[in-house]
A and B are shown apart, each in its own frame.
Chain A
């Protein structure tokens, strides 16, 4: 282990991150909400911590190794979640405990969108803005951002990039230089954010709400500036803009990049994962809408249609915006939606969950087994598009699955032992591990009623979900530390 390198990069990243606490100060000054102090304090503490971390080792020039990459990413997300909590902890109008502040900050960064705050509508704009910004930074990945702006990360940048980017295949670069790849991803991300904000504005939001919601929409986060989330706006146009951009943000960003570079959309339709992703969303929406019509009748067709569509896309992409309390929906619908969040978005998107491509590979393997029963001596590769997937990738997918289930089971038991009922515990673990946000039962609108222990378990769940489990889990294995 290369401690000095890890420490140096960690310090550097912290110092850079501290500057993201300055925009809320600006917001505070614009709206004159008298709550700029906590952000300045947070900025000072984070900058100082980063500097102290960096100073003793700033001359260290060693290269980052694979293992160091894991350590940097995992500890950076942990440390950042903690330091990101500082402004929330210091803010007087919130009077949050340390646990709550960390929960909120981590929920933001990991784009989960579960909250412990109530009365959002009466909070100062700067604090509301800060929460949204956290989600936005976490969405495309704070490390990817760092790789884009810090050329010094170089080859080591690839290790970091891989440890953070979701999906089973992480070797494909968009451009030869990792810095350029990271930049390209952020440009696409930025472009979507601007487009989304404009869309919301045209649909009738104020500029502040439009920007804030654009942040959490393209990040597939789910934080809102209102207690009632998107339902607050009560507008079909807003709903549709949100659905459109949630759908886009759940697609692999490299597809967006190719569409932008070659000015063509045919890449989308050639991509198997995209087709599966669209298909799943369509089927799910159809089932939900039909069920709603079945139970509610045709009294208010447009509303029912929109609610069904919005909730399906929002939950299946793991965004977690709500236009209606879906936990109260009839029959199997709430459970169906929670289950859909296990699928999540595509690899390389900002969405959480297990990712469509993994389900696709598992499904194809199932089909292969059936085919093998019929043709015992056939050679049947698992293919994506026209290319066979190497057995190495397929094995990794199975490994991921089994670990996901084990982690889920353990967390479920732990949550239940903090006193939650089974439905609440199940949905709370799903909501955090899939980076979804809202759950069912007691956590339908937020995690306020969960005990401190439960919140810490959720914090770990959110981190595990965002870093796709292995990056974090590898750190607690003895093999990793054995030199």
Chain B
């Protein structure tokens, strides 16, 4: 697939990285900064074009005329919108994806239609990160909560500790613990190595477990893996940027939210936007301020400023001063490893959160949703099975009969609003939403071909 990425910022570069390492994609990146592009081209097998992302001449040079997808990820909403307009009008590009940050544009429903601004998919990294954090706060103890089928099913990542009821036991005993509901353990990461479990696998302390379950059952299953934590009540957010304010708005009705912002003018602006949350002017790494605001009683400390180093340091400080849990927004992949081994509980990587929504549109076959896990090494995917028994490789077959590549598993099926946890004898029907988990990213092409319908399908 020929992909044109506009903008080589953090989101753009990481999109280029993830997309270009899949054999089938040919990626071209456009940016105004030659140095950034040169550095990027040294690392990745891509082509780069220097120029303004919305200019027709630049897009032409970058090969917009035969591109399959244009992904506009520059930091200006307006540039992204114009670029998609140009790609549509001038080059007839089939799929146009744009990053739109401002909620004002996002909420204008009539704006993004084919006869106005032809953007097929709008991505707001801030929005995605914000709801990601929101989910983590909703399910304390989880490391990742990922939605499928409009939130009906969720894939939850959780670290097993010794208080989990299932820890030290075989997975098959799960149904004895909780008789009436079902969940499925999709994958276990033990000391960084992936394993696809079966009924005889024994859960150990320290395993990172990904399980899938109906939304209402998640809490129960989490208690199987670790001691259930009390719901989060007090949240402190460091950084009153876009993400911080969004999160504060989302949480302020249900939780006690405090938000720390360094710039008094900005603090003034956000205090007008927020209703219940308390805006504090000051430095998030100021020990006095944190103590004064009873940091030792805080359930979650979220560092969401633009500077990842500041995020790391302030979360470490908050944790030392007694915050129960600390999360930090970290862009750099190398930092993520560094901090998760230490005091910070969860490193939030905006790229990883964002990339999934891009990947869903690059996949062949009817793929609804892709979540990238473990920095892109693993992936969870929701695909729709089309066709019938004759032209599809999955429809009408039981899971046992489907030739899945090694390292992949079908974990759940959503059929007309009902969630079915996959068993070896579950039969897949047409138009089922099939949720897959793969621990080996290299198998994706094989998996894609499974869900492609043969030529006879009309």
Contacts and interface: CB of A to CB of B under 8 A. Distances in A.
A155 B47 contact: no
Contacts of B152: none
B38 A154 contact: no
Given A155-B44, A171-B41, A171-B48, A176 B27 contact: yes
Interface in A426-474: none
Contacts of A180: 26
Contacts of B143: none
Contacts of B351: none
Contact of A176 (B42, B43, B47): B47
Contacts of A151: 23
B43 A177 contact: no
A384 to B, nearest CB: 14
A173 B47 contact: yes
B420 interface: no
Nearest to A159: B42
Contact of B43 (A155, A171, A390): A155
Interface in B25-70: 26-28, 34, 38, 41-48
Contacts of A390: 34
A154 B20 CA distance: 10
Contacts of A155: 43-45
Interface in B393-450: none
A157 B48 contact: no
Given A176-B27, A176-B28, A66 B42 contact: yes
A178 B38 contact: no
A158 interface: yes
B107 to A, nearest CB: 36
Contact of A158 (B26, B27, B34, B45): B45
A97 interface: no
Contacts of A32: none
Interface string A291-318: 0000000000000000000000000000
Contacts of B28: 176
Interface in A65-114: 66
A157 B45 contact: yes
Nearest to B34: A390
A60 interface: no
A175 interface: yes
A171 B42 CA distance: 9
Contacts of B43: 155
A66 B43 CA distance: 10
A154 B23 CA distance: 9
Interface in A161-216: 171, 173, 175-178, 180
Nearest to A174: B47
Most chain B beta-carbon neighbours within 10 Å: one of A154, A177, A180, A390 = A177
Interface in A364-392: 390
Interface string A137-168: 00000000000000100110110000000000
Interface string A378-416: 000000000000100000000000000000000000000
Interface in B359-390: none
Nearest to A180: B26
A348 B172 CA distance: 64
B45 A178 contact: yes
B370 to A, nearest CB: 21
Contacts of A175: 26, 47
B233 to A, nearest CB: 47
A170 B390 CA distance: 51
Contacts of A157: 45
Q: Which of A171, A176, A178, A180 has the most CB of B within 10 A?
A: A176
Contacts of A173: 41, 47-48
Contacts of A176: 2, 20, 26-28, 45-47
A154 B46 CA distance: 10
A28 B91 CA distance: 54
A157 B46 CA distance: 12
Interface of A: 66, 151, 154-155, 157-158, 171, 173, 175-178, 180, 390
29 contacts: A66-B42, A151-B23, A154-B45, A155-B43, A155-B44, A155-B45, A157-B45, A158-B41, A158-B42, A171-B38, A171-B41, A171-B48, A173-B41, A173-B47, A173-B48, A175-B26, A175-B47, A176-B2, A176-B20, A176-B27, A176-B28, A176-B45, A176-B46, A176-B47, A177-B26, A177-B45, A178-B45, A180-B26, A390-B34
Interface of B: 2, 20, 23, 26-28, 34, 38, 41-48
Top 8 A-B pairs, shortest CB-CB distance: A176-B26, A176-B47, A173-B47, A155-B45, A176-B28, A176-B27, A176-B46, A178-B45
